[in-house]
Structure 1
Amino acid sequence: MARPVTNAMFQEMLHAAGYGNAHAAFARQLNHAGRVHGTWRYDAASVYWWLRGRRPAEHVQATMAETFARKLARPVAVTELGFEATNVTVSASYPASASHAIDTAEKLWALLAKQLDSSPAGTFHSGDALRAALAWRYDRPDERVARSGRQLVTRADIQSLYALAEHFMNLDRRHGGGSPRTRAIMADFLVRQVAPMLRGTYTEAIGRDLMRATATLAGQLAFMFYDAGAHTSAQQHLTIALRLAKAADDRLYGAHLLANLATQAVYLGHTQDAARLAEAAIDGAGRAPAAVRARLYTTAASAYGRAGERRACETALTKAEQAIDRTDTGEIPRWATYFSPAHYAGTALKCLSDLRLPEQALRHAPVAIALTNQNARTLALHTALIAMTYARAGDIEAACHWGRELGRHLPDVRSVRVTHRIRELTTALNAYQAVPQVNALLETLRAPVPNE
């Protein structure tokens, strides 16, 4: 006696694609499409059990979606096949292969497109981050990334991805990552446009550039999630981006992504692991351009400063400053152009403030605010930090001055990190509430702001 069908979505897809009860025909097509993964021997019995609750591996599901897409002449998402569990989760584990990274990315983007407005803060898994660092650094390079699929990917397609990544990066700098709408637009673009490209047809050279461009997009979305306080989603995307950068054979961008993982770890208080991640990024970058070295050593300094390791922090700051002095604008990768002496100064200010060296910290204040309006979030972060450092040093008049300056930068910025720094500032000022100007500033800072 046949068991009842439990996966109605898969059954409907079979009928829509013209397979109906021709399960053996579908299995043959699936075997043919999956030859890039090796020899598959699925048959009508396999389809029978898939209809009744069994879940094939993620890369098999992805190939099924390609098979249906060719028959239906439209993109088909894996989520349309009905194999997803009710509460699907995507781990932050480093994918074993480029193909696995594509499968994981597609699954994650589809989930995000459905539930982005309620992205939880989640947790940061230091163990997964460290394992990802080791795999990225020491796993063998991908020998082959070329693929044969339904859609031909061209160099022009990839250039459009870089242009969009830059657009989203500018939005993030101007307004912060706290806007669910911006992240929703980006996730929808990844699902509808980028995922089909990753499943398309491309040569080795085009494929590696496609992996690099996709890593850039995923890395940017990760940073927006981090700024919004959605730490699980941020780590998942950073890990996927790191694996795609590996497939692209782009060590410099991989090191940058690893440094972003370290930055997230610092923010969440995982200081020892953050230092390990930063040092792994420095080691993995090899003979990097000075601008990249400056960024990586600045991240290491941030980890050591937060951990209270003064000598290591000062050494990293010195190396970063030396690298800035040697920077040649002609050799800076496009993704590293954002990093400026002002970004270094802001980190130095934070490091020395963490080490309870306010006088040394405040020497960096003038450079830390030498930012354009295109860096509204960073300007807000640095201004709040200057005010907080003055407050901790007991210079209340200067703290209030910079606190009022901060208020000018807040209306257009939505950032959990900015909100967190405002709370640090109000905590530092609470002891001086009896001072009229402090009390007035506290009332202003406690008012609702768009960051929440």
Structure 2
Amino acid sequence: MARPVTNAAFDRLLTAAGYGNAHAAFARQLNLAGREQGAWRYDAASVYWWLRGRRPGEHVQAAMAKTLARKLGRTVSASELGFGVPDDTGTCAYPASVDAAIDATEQIWVTLAKHLDRQVNGTFDRGKALQAGLGWRYDLPDETVSRHGCQQVTSTDVQSLYTLADRFTDLDRRHGSGSPHTRAVMADLLVRQVGPMLRGTYTDAVGRDLMRAAATLAGQLAFMSYDAGEHSMAQHHVTLGLRLAKAADDRLYGAHLLANLATQAVFLGNAREAARLVEAAIDGAGRAPAAVLTRLHATAATAYGQAGERRACQLSLDKAERALDRMDAEPGPRWVGYFTPAHLAGAALKCLGDLHLYPQALRYAADALVLGSQNPRTRALHTSLVALTHARAGDTDAASNWSRKLMEDVSGVQSVRLRQRLRELTTTLRPHQSSPEVNEVMDALAPGPAAI
């Protein structure tokens, strides 16, 4: 059964222009109107969904208005089309096509760049997260991503995007998510530099590398948004990154992004959904290098640990540790180089602590802190986790000692995740506040959440 039309304004314009029963004809004329921006492939199905609430990008709306104006013999403004102006940047559905992914990516970047210093609200949508995982895993691959637009794109152009991604990644790891302005600046660069490239001219080979680079940038902006507590924005960018990774035919990076989505779900307490997401990531990664498998199985362990599934958690930890032993021989893609034995130890510390296996968890404490100088946020997160695990185990002296060390690590790091960890620590220590040592630590931690 066909869904009811929700965009009555657009429906009326189509009918008045003679396209009421000729949606395919309108799509063909629209493709012609937008040919300067690339090889559009809109069809009757595209029109169907536009009539039922899907919002095309602003550049597509401009071409729609132009097409309708030619038939109606009068000026048609984009505001008459009934799509409105997006007031938020909530979660999006997994795009069905590369063109739809490019449209959605441009739209979210433009919206974010226009709202400097605005905190984006919204919630994590578990249903859409699972749909994105299924779409990435089971949709058919794209036959080609070549395109003909205004700007010629070369391999050298694409390599510059990886350099851009590395810079933002380093900034994020050293200082945390930063202010909303930091993410808006990144979005502005994406609008001005990456958007035109996605709509340019490129071969299939260059196009797939471009999609991979764009997925990398979307994934980085997603993680920064997650660390800042902007969960709908983070989910939106992971979803788009997954679709771009699919277009790039890069199953390993797609699996990495899906594992990031699972990590976000764990943080929000959605353990069951997180487990399903990371299971799809492991399945989709296939015969992956050891470094990638280590990361994926570590993420699975955290999901199972939070869900209380002790056996599945231990099995995942065992798989991660076996893969870790092979990492030197199978290093994997460059982007997974960040994942070190300390990251696996941190995952073990968390999942075993969630299972209340505190002595076992604390065996990983020392290894979790063997981190390079480029990872101050991870060091602060792991140090706070060690303190929290001691506190939950009832050892307030050790928890107090680690909390003092923690105060050395939090300076200069802005992270909602770290702020949440500190809240958990102070909540756990509060019943023991009569102890002078605990009281001293509580006073030291009190201003921390506001400053981080």
**TM-score (ref. length: structure 1):** 0.84
Q: What whole-Å deviation, never above 9, does each CA across 1:61-111 have from its counterpart, x for those lacking one? A: 33847999xxxxxxxxxxx96676244445421000011000001110111
User: SS in structure 2 opposite 1:146?
Assistant: coil
1:251-308 superposed Cα distances (whole Å, 9 cap, x missing partner): 0000000000100111111111100001000000000000000000001000000011
Cα RMSD of the aligned pairs, angstroms, is: 2.8
Q: Where does residue 132 of structure 1 map in the other structure?
A: 132
Selected match of 2:40 from 34, 37, 40: 37
Distance verdict in 2 for CA 1:38–1:333, change over 3 Å: closer
In structure 2, the CA distance between the partners of 1:402 and 1:66, relative to structure 1 (3 Å rule), is: farther
Instruction: Report percent identity of matched pairs.
Output: 57
Match of 1:21 in 2: none
Give 1:396 shift. 1.5
Q: Quick one: structure 1 residues 28 and 118, their matched pair in 2 at CA, closer, same or farther if it must change by over 3 Å?
A: closer
Contact kept, 8 Å, 1:252 with 1:292, in 2: the verdict is yes
After the TM superposition, which residues 48-447 of structure 1 pair with which residues of structure 2 at under 5 Å, given as runs? 58=56, 61-62=59-60, 64=62, 85-89=84-88, 91-328=91-328, 331-447=331-447
TM-score scaled by length of structure 2: 0.84
Verify the 8 A CA contact 2:31 2:39 in the aligned structure 1: no
Q: 2-side partners of 1:144 and 1:95: how far apart?
A: 16
Count of aligned pairs: 408
Q: Distance in 2 between matches of 1:295 and 1:85?
A: 42
Q: Is the deviation greater in 143-152 or in 28-37?
A: 28-37
Q: Which residue of 2 aligns with 1:48?
A: none
Residues 147 and 381 of structure 1, relative CA distance in 2, 3 Å threshold:
same
Distance in structure 2 (CA, Å) of the matches to 1:223 and 1:230: 10
Asked whether the equivalents of residues 146 and 204 of structure 1 are also in contact (C-alpha less than 8 Å), the reply is yes
Runs of 5+ unmatched residues, structure 2: 1-8, 10-28, 45-52, 67-76
Contact 1:66–1:199 (Cα < 8 Å) also in 2: no
**What is the CA deviation profile of residues 306-363 of structure 1, one whole-angstrom value per residue up to 9, with x for unaligned ones?**
0111000000000000000011366421110000000000010001110001110000
Displacement of 1:116 after TM fit? 4.5
Q: Is the 8 A contact 1:120 1:230 kept in 2?
A: yes
Q: Distance in 2 between matches of 1:216 and 1:267?
A: 22
Shift of 1:36: 2.9
Q: How far, CA to CA, are the matches of 2:94 and 2:43 in structure 1?
A: 25
Distance across 2 between alignment mates of 1:102 and 1:283: 26
Change (3 A) 1:27 1:265: closer
Q: Per-residue deviation at 1:122?
A: 1.5
Q: How far is 1:421 from its partner? A: 0.2
Structure-1 separation of matches of 2:54 and 2:429: 57
Distance in 1, matches of 2:36 and 2:43, equals 9
Distance 1:200 1:263 in 2: 34
Question: Residue 449 of structure 1: CA displacement?
Answer: 5.0
User: Which of structure 1's runs of 4+ aligned residues deviate more than 6 A?
Assistant: 26-29, 65-68
- Measured in 2, the distance between the counterparts of 1:269 and 1:39 equals 39
Task: Determine helix, strand or coil for the equivalent of 1:108.
Answer: helix
**Partner SS, residue 375 of structure 2:** helix
Counterparts of 1:251 and 1:211, CA distance in 2: 12
In 2, distance between residues paired with 1:106 and 1:390?
46
Q: Indicate if the aligned counterparts of 2:91 and 2:233 stay in contact, CA closer than 8 A.
A: no
